[in-house]
Amino acid sequence: MVTITDKTNINYSELLKRPVEYNPEIRVSVQEIIEKVRVQGDSALRLLTKKFDGIDIDRFEVDEQTIASSQNQVGENLKAAIEIAARNIERFHSAQKVSDVEVATMPGVSCKLVYRLLERVGLYVPGGTAPLISTVLMLGVPAKVAGCKELIVCTPPPVNPIILYACSLVGAKVFTVGGAQAIAAMAFGTETIPRVDKIFGPGNNYVTEAKMQVSAMGIPIDIPAGPSELLVIADESAIPQFVAADLLSQAEHGADSQVVLISNCNSIINETLDEINKQVKNLPRMNIALKALENSYAIKVETVERAIEISNTYAPEHLILAVASPEKYETMIKNAGSVFMGNYTPESAGDYASGTNHTLPTSGFARSWGGVNLLSFTKTITYQSITPEGIQELGNCIVELANAERLTAHANAVKLRMEKLSNQS
């Protein structure tokens, strides 16, 4: 980790730039993949799955029996853990329901905002050696709570039975296709994979690029994704052993992850760095963590307030407040995905089981984006209902504005109604 001392003239948005390696080749090949799938559907998916996963797939959808039998391949302790996590996520997201809004903006003019669920959502679950159970829960449980009718999970073959088990809990259909081709399939639909209303989920550079490209075609996505990141603000009351463990839990995600420690206390910084050196040695993913630490910073500041100022500029995905009274600073936090309050709230709690969603904005997107929440699975429709009295009230206002914008037919539609009413009376 690079250690520095705060100066007012430091440009932190420059200094703490995320380590991005932009690859134009990825953009082009993803464009090609999307076009192939859009035009050729399943046959393109078969070729691409053969090419990228080295597997011949006849039927992409995992049959119910295979899904059902998955429960025999999951240990009891893990099942219990999944149940607790799912229940906490369910509780927190259920509480996020909002009610429709109806207002009479003036006599005879009633307006209504209605929240409607998205009928069919697509959830991408990355493959690899470790089954990302938490991804299924963090997307599938809120989708169920929102009332989405169909959950479509795409995940590269071969699919781990633990993933199938988690999918069975949220009632998702599972299709064994991964990568950019899976995103394209959900965006446009194929003979076997239905087109979805919105696409959620993490993935590698190809998946992320594919999500951005289909979003530019109007298919909504959860949030733009990037390498994971954590910023910890620690005062003298912080416990270096914990802070080090939290920083490492983020650093082990990937070589391109970034962690930042900001403290008003030199000894906390030094002890944390020592602890990191101790703890990292015992990690199976030590090399990944060490690489991530190269892009990482420890910053000495004068006050916690200044630390939060810097954090707001950085807009971290995860922010830990390892300080004496974190609640004091809660409202000062302007830009962050999810905040972890106090010494006994590790980031991994939010990654798995506290109940908050772990699908969060990275790369500074927290300035504009929030993480996935219940409303991410809904859309709105507005209604208005105007009585004859109402249009007589409001009519002249509409005509005046329509004429100012030189839209005569807009004015006519109102005038005709007003005339008919005045003729009647």
> For residues 343-382, which are near a second copy according to CB under 8 A?
343-357, 363, 365-371, 373, 375, 378-382
Beta carbon of residue 336, minimum distance to a second copy (angstroms, whole number):
6
d(CA 269, CA 289) in angstroms, rounded, equals 18
Q: Residue 206 or residue 340: which is nearer to a second copy going by CB?
A: 340
Contact 200, 121 (CB under 8 A): yes
Residue of 243, 225, 223 lying closest to 233 (CA atoms): 243
Helix, strand, coil percentages in the chain from 3-state DSSP, rounded to 5: 50, 15, 35
Contact 190, 213 (CB under 8 A): no
Our finding on whether 157 is near a second copy (CB under 8 A) is no
Beta carbon of residue 213, minimum distance to a second copy (angstroms, whole number):
7
**Per-residue interface string for the shown chain with a second copy, residues 276-315, x marking contact by CB under 8 A:** ---x--xxxx---x--------------------------
Cα dihedral 409, 414, 420, 422 in deg (nearest 10): -130
Our finding on whether 238 is near a second copy (CB under 8 A) is no
Residue 406 CA, distance from chain mean position = 43
Q: Per DSSP, what are the bridge partners of residue 72?
A: none
Beta carbon of residue 28, minimum distance to a second copy (angstroms, whole number):
13
Q: Which of 219, 259, 269, 322 binds a second copy (CB under 8 A)?
A: 219
Please choose, out of 31-39, 49-57, 94-102, 295-303, the segment that lies near a second copy by the rule CB under 8 A.
94-102
Is residue 358 part of the annotated active site? The answer reads no
Contact 106, 389 (CB under 8 A): no
Is residue 318 part of the annotated active site? The answer reads yes
Please choose, out of 2-10, 52-60, 261-269, 413-421, the segment that lies near a second copy by the rule CB under 8 A.
413-421
SS3 call for 218: coil
Q: Which of 170, 251, 304, 310 binds a second copy (CB under 8 A)?
A: 251
Q: Residue 56 or residue 405: which is nearer to a second copy going by CB?
A: 405
Beta carbon of residue 8, minimum distance to a second copy (angstroms, whole number):
21
d(CA 348, CA 242) in angstroms, rounded, equals 12
Q: Which two tokens stand for residue 330?
A: 């809660």
Determine phi and psi for 41, rounding to 5 degrees.
60, -135
98-110 b/e (C-beta count within 10 Å ≥ 16 → b):
eeeeeeeeeebbb
Q: Given 318, 330, 347, 393, which residue is catalytic?
A: 318
Please choose, out of 41-49, 102-110, 264-272, 302-310, the segment that lies near a second copy by the rule CB under 8 A.
102-110
Beta carbon of residue 143, minimum distance to a second copy (angstroms, whole number):
14
Q: Residue 49 or residue 311: which is nearer to a second copy going by CB?
A: 311
Residues assigned a catalytic role: 317-318
